[in-house]
Structure formats: structure tokens, C-alpha cells
């Protein structure tokens, strides 16, 4: 049985004071979220230590938004997975569309980051998704499965079961225009069938979460879809009440 997962991606937001207040509210709100729902937060690297301390002794898990693919060395400005693990990070986003588009994270780099994460015991959340233009050209399946296969060919299919796949249509991220539950389910099903063609156990075990303008208003219907196992939440995760409501929808 797959456990639903809701992860907040704070992106490059938050001051120390804002984060402390947000976590204070989340710590109260999380009591209303069903125990079966796994909840995580991805602050900036700078705020990892602060958040680690604030969520100590709660069921909220700590994630990171990115990591470098090498363990250590002359890589100015980068942070390695082993450093994140040292701070109690349990999962890391790899291949977020903002990393692909703005920071040049190629399929090969993403596969290396995925491998580095698993090597250091940090669960990768592999983000895949098509642009609006690609959707309009009916290339969604090709793009999404291509991004997935780029990792599988480097890691083998078995590694996918120990990761999370996040389907995030680029046109839905930060736009307020979420995919409809049917649109999202169609792609989630496609991903699961693609995995099943390689290994049915992996397909059954792998959590596939949806991201792209998830709100308290649309989460329940999205999470009710057969192949949607929770959400990756950007903007709405910065507001405690909204994020808790989304988490409750996954329970």
C-alpha cells in the first residue's frame, strides 16, 4: 500500500522570522492531518538547519530543493547530498522544472543527482513534466517518459521504487492553472503503466505525486485519483492554513 505524501517546496522564500512563525502554525495544524499522510518541507539550503531544529520531535520531514552530484571538493557555491544528510534531510527534489530551465540541469545531471541522493540515503523526488508548447504538440507522453527513462537507464528500474516521482506540468507551476484531476490522472496512469511494463512491483510501490498550482480548493479531487499519491506544493505551502488543508485532503 502506498502512503500518500505531501511536500511543500518553499523555493527562494522566507526570512528567519517568517519561517519560525510558519512552523509554529504548522506544528499545531499537523495534529489534524491523518497519521497515514507523510508530510515534508523543502526550505532553502540556508534555512535547513533552522527548520531541522524547529520541526524536531514532530512528524514533519525535512527535504531539500536541490543538491550537487559530487560528495565534496572545489565546487564553489554548491551543497552535497552528504552535507544535507548530515543535517537530517530525508529527501531531495531532483529535476524540478525551474532547475531544468534556469540552471541547466540536463537529464544526465539529474540522473547523477538522483544516484548521489540514493547513495547517501536521501530519497530523491524526481520531477518530470511537459511545457505548454509540448502539450499542445501532443508530446506530453514522449517528454515525461523520456525524462523518466533518462534516470532509469542510469539507475536501473529497481531504484525507482525507492524514490518518488512528481508529475509537474510546467504550465501549471506557479500559474494558478492546475491540471484537472482527469488530465493529471491520465499522465500518472501513463507513468505507472510505463513502470509496470518494466517491473510490476516497482509500478505498484512507487509513489507518483502531482505538482502544479495545488490549493486547498483542488487538492481533494486531485488526490482522489487512483494513481495520484499526494502532492508537491509550491506557493500554497507558504501559508499554514492552506498547506494543512491540502495535507488533510491526502488523508
Catalytic positions: 96, 168
Q: H or E element: which one contains 166?
A: strand 164-167
Terminal alpha carbon distance of the chain: 14
Rounded Cα distance between 107 and 193, Å, is 21
Among 29, 88, 174, 181, binds ligand PEP (CB under 6 A): 174
Contact positions with ligand PEP (CB under 6 A) in 130-169: 168
Q: According to the binding rule CB under 6 A, does residue 125 interact with ligand PEP?
A: no
- Candidates 149-157, 201-209, 232-240, 242-250 — which segment interacts with ligand PEP by CB under 6 A? 232-240
Q: Which residue is nearest to ligand PEP (CB)?
A: 234
Q: According to the binding rule CB under 6 A, does residue 235 interact with ligand PEP?
A: yes
Q: Buried b vs exposed e over 42-78: b needs ≥16 C-beta within 10 Å?
A: bbbbebbebbeebbeeeebbbbbbbbbbeeeeeeeee
> Given the complex with ligand PEP, which of 203 and 208 has the nearer CB atom?
208
- Candidates 47-55, 118-126, 145-153, 234-242 — which segment interacts with ligand PEP by CB under 6 A? 234-242
Assigned C-alpha cell, 52: 531541522
Among 179, 233, 246, 250, binds ligand PEP (CB under 6 A): 233
- Candidates 22-30, 56-64, 78-86, 212-220 — which segment interacts with ligand PEP by CB under 6 A? 212-220
Give the pairing of strands 5-9 and 38-42: parallel
Q: According to the binding rule CB under 6 A, does residue 95 interact with ligand PEP?
A: no
Among 14, 211, 230, 240, binds ligand PEP (CB under 6 A): 211
3-state secondary structure 65-114: CCCECCCCCCCCCCCEHHHHHHCCCCEEEECCHHHHHHCCCCHHHHHHHH
> Given the complex with ligand PEP, which of 203 and 218 has the nearer CB atom?
218
Among 116, 202, 232, 240, binds ligand PEP (CB under 6 A): 232
Q: According to the binding rule CB under 6 A, does residue 29 interact with ligand PEP?
A: no
Among 234, 243, 245, 248, binds ligand PEP (CB under 6 A): 234
Estimate to the nearest angstrom the gap between the alpha carbon of 89 and the chain centroid: 14
> Given the complex with ligand PEP, which of 206 and 237 has the nearer CB atom?
237
Contact 98, 66 (CB under 8 A): no
CA 164 vs CA 24, 126, 143: distances in Å: 27, 6, 18
Chain residues in the site for ligand PEP (CB under 6 A) = 9, 11, 168, 173-174, 211-214, 232-236
Amino acid at each position: 500500500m502506498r502512503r500518500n505524501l505531501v511536500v511543500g517546496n518553499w523555493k527562494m522564500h522566507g526570512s528567519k522570522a517568517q519561517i519560525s512563525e510558519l512552523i509554529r502554525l504548522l506544528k499545531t495544524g499537523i495534529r489534524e492531518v491523518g497519521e497515514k499522510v507523510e508530510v515534508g518541507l523543502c526550505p532553502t539550503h540556508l534555512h535547513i538547519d533552522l527548520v531541522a531544529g524547529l520541526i524536531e520531535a514532530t512528524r514533519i520531514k525535512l527535504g531539500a530543493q536541490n543538491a550537487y552530484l559530487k560528495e565534496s571538493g572545489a565546487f564553489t557555491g554548491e551543497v552535497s547530498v552528504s552535507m544535507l544528510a548530515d543535517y537530517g534531510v530525508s529527501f531531495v527534489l531532483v529535476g524540478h522544472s525551474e532547475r531544468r530551465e534556469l540552471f541547466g540541469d540536463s537529464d544526465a545531471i539529474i540522473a547523477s543527482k538522483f544516484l548521489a541522493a540514493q547513495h547517501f540515503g536521501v530519497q530523491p523526488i524526481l520531477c518530470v513534466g511537459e511545457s505548454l508548447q509540448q502539450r499542445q504538440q501532443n508530446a506530453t507522453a514522449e517528454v515525461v517518459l523520456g525524462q523518466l527513462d533518462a534516470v532509469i537507464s542510469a539507475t536501473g528500474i529497481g531504484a525507482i521504487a525507492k524514490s518518488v516521482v512528481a508529475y509537474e506540468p510546467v504550465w501549471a507551476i506557479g500559474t494558478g492553472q492546475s491540471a484537472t484531476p482527469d488530465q493529471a490522472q491520465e499522465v500518472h496512469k501513463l507513468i505507472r503503466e510505463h513502470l509496470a511494463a518494466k517491473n510490476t512491483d516497482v509500478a505498484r510501490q512507487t509513489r507518483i505525486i502531482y505538482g502544479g498550482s495545488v490549493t486547498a480548493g483542488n487538492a481533494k479531487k486531485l488526490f482522489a485519483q487512483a494513481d495520484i499519491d499526494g502532492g508537491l506544493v509550491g506557493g500554497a505551502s507558504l501559508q499554514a492554513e492552506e498547506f494543512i488543508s491540502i495535507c488533510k485532503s491526502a488523508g
